[in-house]
A and B are shown apart, each in its own frame.
Chain A
Amino acid sequence: MAYSPKVIDHYEHPRNVGSLAKDDPAVGTGVVGAPECGDVMKLQIKVDEKTGKIVDAKFKTFGCGSAIASSSLATEWVKGKTIDQAMAIKNTEIVQELSLPPVKIHCSVLAEDAIKSAIADYQKKAAAKKTEEQAVNA
């Protein structure tokens, strides 16, 4: 199977590889997939509390070239976006951008799931923090 030039570019020069401190309340972590299925993505976002914007994103992925490219692209796209804007990213947009063949569509689905999972983790932490603050103020 031939890879598209964009997949190769992301594979050879993955953007935003690494990890953010997962205990930081401003960081949301999403881990999706399973080793038995051949792909696991970890995507992390860092949110600026004041502006509500995603100021940083990092990923690590175990998977094929298309899975690596999908998650690399996802980190690029979420940066600078608000939570709502990031939530609106669709896997089909990733498919289109990377020209993924049908057999690799699941990689894009996983990347979308990873974004949503990271956001959910952040929101859970933010909600817990809010409850804690209210408890302190009360």
Chain B
Amino acid sequence: MPVKLPIYLDNNATTPVDPRVLEAMLPYFTEKFGNAASRNHHFGWEAEDAVDTARKQVADLIGADSKEIVWTSGSTESNNLAIKGAADMYKDKGKHIISAVHEHKAVLDPCKRLQREGYEVTFLSPNKDGIIYAEQVREVMREDTVLVTVMWANNEIGTVNEIEQIGKLCKDKGVIFHTDATQYVGKLPCDVEAAGVDLLSASAHKMYGPKGVGCLYVRRRRPRVRLSPILDGGGHERGMRSGTLNVPGIVGMGAAAEIAKNELADEAIRLKALRDKLEHGITSQLDHVYVNGHKDKRLPHTTNISFPYVEGESLMMAIKEIAVSSGSACTSASLEPSYVLKSLGLGDDLAHSSIRFGLGRFTTEEEIDYTIDRVVTGVRKLRELSPLYEMVLEGIDLSKIQWATH
């Protein structure tokens, strides 16, 4: 059977809503439309029950208690609430925060804002493998450190940081530990107790739920974490996040969490096999190709590959019926190549030449076979066109050339 085009391999950007999730959500747009905060009538109770069920479903996925889930609009909001909220609440204890240079902008920018407001932030740099280790955190931890925020898995390269060890270190030192687990939750087993996480951000649309809804896990015991809210209003969500709850979205996130909990073990095995097949198919047929980040400590469905001497955007054009992402500046709004890849020590040239493939629940083996074929053909074609590849074949060392940068 021929594959259906276009093919979606950008599941780190967003995932389609699982039909089972959509089915669970639909009644909450129409007949069950109540406001979960309406405490005195049937419609409100019905909505509140649905929200409570979803709270339990999400809590079960991450090993938390229902009462520890705060609904938000998504991970960007969760990260802002966690970082700014904790920094403000514990500012009398200290004003030092630890994070990493290759975090998502939704973590970096709140940290940078706090820097402008008088906090000190230490940004750790990963090695070539892309991982942040507990030892690195220990080395920079101080008496006045109040918050550590390190993502569970990286969104561009899929590497998984040493979360459990960092969690233990933070527990020992009495420091609040936040992790942006947007890419991780629903993909690999997650237990906030075992990992010693105090605050965790997650988003529905990265795990086959709808866009516009997410949550922040806020630990209630050992220690009880308190946050200053960033939205003031009706005092919803234990006062941490005012605003009428997005009931259909929350129901969707709950349903997505339950499916993920039941299926993630099998799904991870299946996707890892397909991802490995994709990587092998590409790297065995092309010379000068590099997989970025740690090979094993990685999300099962993600791979980021550099194709030197070929520019990322032109490669995306060559495989235009396959949806992927590139670290190339040409595909970003900032016109800067990926800061995540650069943080691994990749030069700008290699960052320009990288592609992220994100497999998902609905990816088929036929799609992977097709993708291997298209990528190999595309890279070969573009290398025929590449003056850099020609120079390399002639034995010229590109790093020794004086380029006229513009």
**Other-chain contact of A36, B328, B384, B390, B403 (Cβ < 8 Å):** B403
Is A33's CB within 8 Å of the partner chain B? yes
Q: Smallest Cβ distance from A58 to chain B, in angstroms?
A: 11
Interface residue tally on A, bucketed by range: 20 to 34
Contact of B348 among A35, A41, A67 (CB under 8 A): A35
Near A by CB (< 8 A), chain B positions 311-337 give 311, 313-314, 317, 328-330, 335, 337
A42 within 8 A of partner (CB) = yes
- A residues within 8 A CB of B313? 64-65
Contact A60 B387 (CB under 8 A): yes
Bound Cα distance from A64 to B387, whole angstroms: 13
Residues of A within 8 A of B389 (CB): 62
**What residues on B are CB-neighbors of A79 within 8 Å?**
none
A65 touches B317 (CB 8 A): yes
Residues of B within 8 A of A33 (CB): 403-404, 406
Closest chain-B Cβ to A115's Cβ sits at a distance in Å of: 15
Task: Take A11-B317, A14-B385, A65-B314 as given contacts and tell me if A38 and B404 are in contact as well, using a CB distance cutoff of 8 Å.
Answer: no
- Cβ of A37 and Cβ of B406 under 8 Å apart? yes
Checking B335, B390, B403 against A34 with a beta-carbon cut-off of 8 angstroms, the contacting residue is B403
User: Given the complex of chains A and B, what is the CA–CA distance between A104 and B367 in angstroms?
Assistant: 32
Cβ < 8 Å to B, chain A residues 66-101? 67-68
B398 and A103 form a contact (CB under 8 A): no
Whether B387 contacts A36 by the Cβ 8 Å rule is no
State which residues 1-42 of A face B: CB under 8 Å: 3, 11, 14, 17, 19, 31-42
Q: Which B267-318 residues have C-beta < 8 A from chain A?
A: 309-311, 313-314, 317
Name the one of A31, A38, A65, A106 contacting B387, with C-beta atoms under 8 angstroms.
Answer: A31
Residues of chain B in range 359-405 having any CB-CB distance to chain A below 8 Å: 384-390, 398, 403-405
Residues in chain B near residue A19, CB distance under 8 A: 390
Complex Cα distance, B314 from A63, in Å, reads 7
Q: Are the CB atoms of A38 and B385 closer together than 8 Å?
A: no
Question: 8 additional contacts, CB 8 Å, given A62-B385, A110-B406?
Answer: A17-B384, A31-B387, A35-B347, A35-B348, A35-B388, A37-B406, A62-B389, A103-B335
A-B pairs with the 4 shortest C-beta distances?
A34-B403, A35-B349, A42-B387, A36-B348
Please name 24 pairs of A and B residues whose Cβ atoms are closer than 8 Å in the assembled complex, sorted by A: A3-B317, A11-B317, A14-B385, A32-B404, A33-B403, A33-B404, A33-B406, A34-B405, A35-B349, A35-B352, A35-B398, A36-B347, A36-B349, A36-B403, A36-B405, A37-B405, A38-B311, A38-B330, A40-B387, A42-B390, A61-B387, A62-B309, A62-B387, A67-B311
